Structure 1
Amino acid sequence: MQNTLTKNKYMPTALSMYINYFLHGMGCIILAQNIDFLIEQLNTNKAGVAYVISALGLGRLIVLFVSGVLSDKYGRKPFILLGMITYVIFMGGILISTNVTMAFFFALLAGMANSFMDAGTYPALTECFPNASGSANVAIKAFISAGQFLLPWIISFLISNNLYYGWSFILCIIIFVINGLFILKLPFPAFKTDDSKKDSVSEEKVENKVKANFWIEGICLILIGFTATATFQIIANWLPSFAREVAGVEQTISLKLISIYSTGSIVSVFVTSILVAKWIKQVRFTFVYPLISLIMLIVLWIFPSTLTCVVAAFVIGFSAAGGVLQLALTSMSELFPTSKGKITGIVFTASSISSTVVPGITGILADINLSHVILFDIGVTALGVILALIVNIRYNVVKKNELKAS
């Protein structure tokens, strides 16, 4: 497979798309990482910045479905470029924002940029590597985590040297512009095929053998889209602040917790890929990983310290940010093979709702007590564990019935 990838003429195109997601990884946490500077610049409090962060999910939600439909109609490259341009406007806009309303508007654009890039990139990678589309798409998660790993180190360097916090934004803008010039000239594969009817026929035959119930395991998997996103999003946004204010961790060290968290995520991507390919069904991880996160969150809440913050950053990065959402999607596609496009849209919508609603709730809780934020995360993750348990029980029943039918 590696030989196939390296010889593929679209490898430079794929690399440019991955660079976008490296920057997107930074963009996901850049507001939370600069929360103290933004509180001062926008003349607000933690809840105000959390309100701005919530616009990321809302923006993504607004254009989620339409961008995918239009990408199928007009091609992948225009939407990837549109996403990059919109991201640049977000980065520059935050730096000139003087109040929460302005910042919210620009953060809304960041969410839209994410949807535009997703609409172009995921199908483009599948078309670039038709025989290794799963590996190509999983690699996106690794690049996102790499960006989240590097950004805290950049911000720590800026703080330590009393430099303008906006240099982290400006760096992203410069790379986006350079990468955009490359993408303009790079080739993309044809995006329209005549195999859709064949696929739907074969998928229909598969579904006839599967007696999955959308109203039980289907709804549970969709809700896992919400809980899985909330679990890692809360940690990504609030762990540094929790570490400083509750556990007494020094600021520069607390910011690097997200690098540790991202390291856990990167390790998880590779470990999970190997385990899923050889030994364990992906649906099992939708239960095991949230359970690990739940146990770690409880320990963090009861025993806040530098050590537990460091361990929690890695463990939750591994178990929550390492691909539970993607594993839920894969499980959904296996159980409901004739509705993959629709199901993907619904699960990502649940994820976007989480990105929109959860920052607002946690912002209010943070102004009361940051420990309440972790407690809220415990509740959401516990719900995810219960949902995943139901999914796994139903999965066993479905597969047992399928074997009997065959």
Structure 2
Amino acid sequence: MKNKYMPTAISLYLNYFIHGMGVIILAQNMEALAKHWNTTTGGVAVVISSLGIGRLIVLLVSGWLSDKFGRKPFVILGVITYLLFFGGILLSTSIAVAYIFGILAGIANSFLDSGTYPALMEMFPESKGTANVIIKAFISVGQFGLPLFVSFLVANSIWYGWSFVLCIVVLLVNLIFMVTAGKFPVANQDAEVEEKTAEAEDKPVSKGNLWLDGTLFILYGYVSQATFYLVSQWLSQYGTKVAGMGDASSRALISYYSIGSIVCVLVTAALAKRAVKEIQFLGVYTLISFVSLLLMYLFPTALMCSIMSFVVGFSAAGGVMQLGLTVMSTFFPSGKGTITGAFYTAGSIASFTIPLFTGMMSDNLAGIFLFDVIIALIGFVLAVLITVRYYRLFEKNQKGATTHESTSR
């Protein structure tokens, strides 16, 4: 079906293609940046943690403000701030300076999230889960392509900075379109329509318990981000130093991981069209994440790492976090910007803390992956609890609606 917001939606997705590169660009250029900044790979890991700080600084408030002032200003702010990050890293000559620009990257990500996720749910109210999961597909394409591009630069002894320049050029072109032609729906208009429809039909509106359900979703936001963020930052190093793979082969693990996430988006979108609900994916995907990481830890061979990189990409990075946010919007239908801010603030805490923990464990890569196995197990437990709460609330509302209907007759 035609949708007048489709060109803007494509532009929003393109931002996340570059974001996918931005998330791993420091890790993929870790050796070159460590040399340029006169530090170690552990020092670069500390700079990577600054992205989480940037997200923490503005995400919660930017989500709330996007509910009040609209989505477009925050998307534009996100693109501009990302441009400052990519350019600033190229100009940085020390960890201290790079750390500041890393914070800007986190701020940029927060602005994009607070504007983009609510906007897509409002642009496609009948397929919110699919619209959000497609974001992950574009992130994954970026994460698939960047390691190949960096490998090409390394193999041909070309300046690593071209990977940053590529991101700058794409964002500039996208920014021009967004400013001149981007169209956005009115913030939270779809939620108001849903509430009025429910009132007109005398049906109860599904709303979760702020403290119980809110806490579960916040914890899930942290764990789901931590699970795939840890893998994306250390998978190549794990392949080289634990599985004994060559440089090109270990970098390719990230590409397998990204392919897995892309396949998951396609599978999820196809199943969603067949009336499979977002909640039904959470427990299954988090269980697969746990098992695949456990196998990679127990059997660190080149073959196992290659296969499980695809599987963990499918299960942990294929949009499960976006599905979690979509389910949360079902529990709390009003204020999508605010819940996006709260959910992804938890994720940003993970982005900040996980690199610090793993940076201290950088000499024990097997221990880093065991840490991720434990995190994935916690994620599965949380997914089960959220699923139980969802069906209890759903059945309660269904019974309420049925009882009211019977009384009216």
Pairing 1:332–2:309 present: no
Indicate if the aligned counterparts of 2:84 and 2:101 stay in contact, CA closer than 8 A: yes
The 5-angstrom pairing of residues 84-103 of structure 1 reads: 84-103=79-98
State which of 241, 244, 251 in structure 2 corresponds to 1:245: 241
Change (3 A) 1:122 1:23: same
Q: Distance in 2 between matches of 1:381 and 1:289?
A: 10
What's the CA shift for 1:136? Answer: 3.5
What's the CA shift for 1:224? Answer: 0.9
Pairing 1:155–2:150 present: yes
The 5-angstrom pairing of residues 221-240 of structure 1 reads: 221-240=217-236
Q: Distance in 2 between matches of 1:13 and 1:41?
A: 38
Paired position in structure 2 for 1:141? 136
* RMSD, matched Cα: 2.5
Paired position in structure 1 for 2:263? 267
TM-score normalised over the length of structure 2: 0.89
Counterpart of 1:112 in structure 2: which amino acid?
A: I
Paired position in structure 2 for 1:22? 17
Deviation readout 1:280-313 (Å, 9 max, x if unpaired): 3322322111111111111111110111111121
What's the CA shift for 1:206? Answer: 9.1
Unpaired runs of at least 5, structure 1: none
Deviation readout 1:333-356 (Å, 9 max, x if unpaired): 323435655433221111111111
Pairing 1:58–2:46 present: no
Paired position in structure 2 for 1:11? 6
Indicate if the aligned counterparts of 2:223 and 2:375 stay in contact, CA closer than 8 A: yes
Q: Distance in 2 between matches of 1:292 and 1:128?
A: 31
Pairing 1:41–2:53 present: no
Unpaired runs of at least 5, structure 2: 403-409
Paired position in structure 1 for 2:63? 68
Partner of 1:337, secondary structure, is coil
Q: Distance in 2 between matches of 1:64 and 1:203?
A: 31
What's the CA shift for 1:323? Answer: 1.4
Q: Distance in 1 between matches of 2:262 and 2:20?
A: 12
State which of 280, 285, 293 in structure 2 corresponds to 1:297: 293
Change (3 A) 1:349 1:198: same
Moved more, 385-394 or 303-312: 385-394
Change (3 A) 1:18 1:282: closer
Deviation readout 1:345-402 (Å, 9 max, x if unpaired): 22111111111111111111123x1111101101111111111222223334333434
Indicate if the aligned counterparts of 2:63 and 2:338 stay in contact, CA closer than 8 A: no
Indicate if the aligned counterparts of 2:62 and 2:114 stay in contact, CA closer than 8 A: yes
Partner of 1:281, secondary structure, is coil
For this pair of structures, how many residues does the alignment match?
400
Moved more, 19-28 or 331-340: 331-340
Deviation readout 1:82-113 (Å, 9 max, x if unpaired): 22221111111112222211111101001111
Change (3 A) 1:198 1:291: closer
Q: Distance in 2 between matches of 1:58 and 1:371?
A: 26
State which of 93, 108, 113 in structure 1 corresponds to 2:108: 113
Change (3 A) 1:190 1:389: closer
Q: Distance in 1 between matches of 2:302 and 2:346?
A: 33
Counterpart of 2:51 in structure 1: which amino acid?
A: L
Aligned-residue sequence identity (percent) comes to 49
TM-score normalised over the length of structure 1: 0.90
State which of 354, 359, 363 in structure 2 corresponds to 1:358: 354
Deviation readout 1:61-97 (Å, 9 max, x if unpaired): 2111332344445444433232222111111111222
What's the CA shift for 1:207? Answer: 9.1
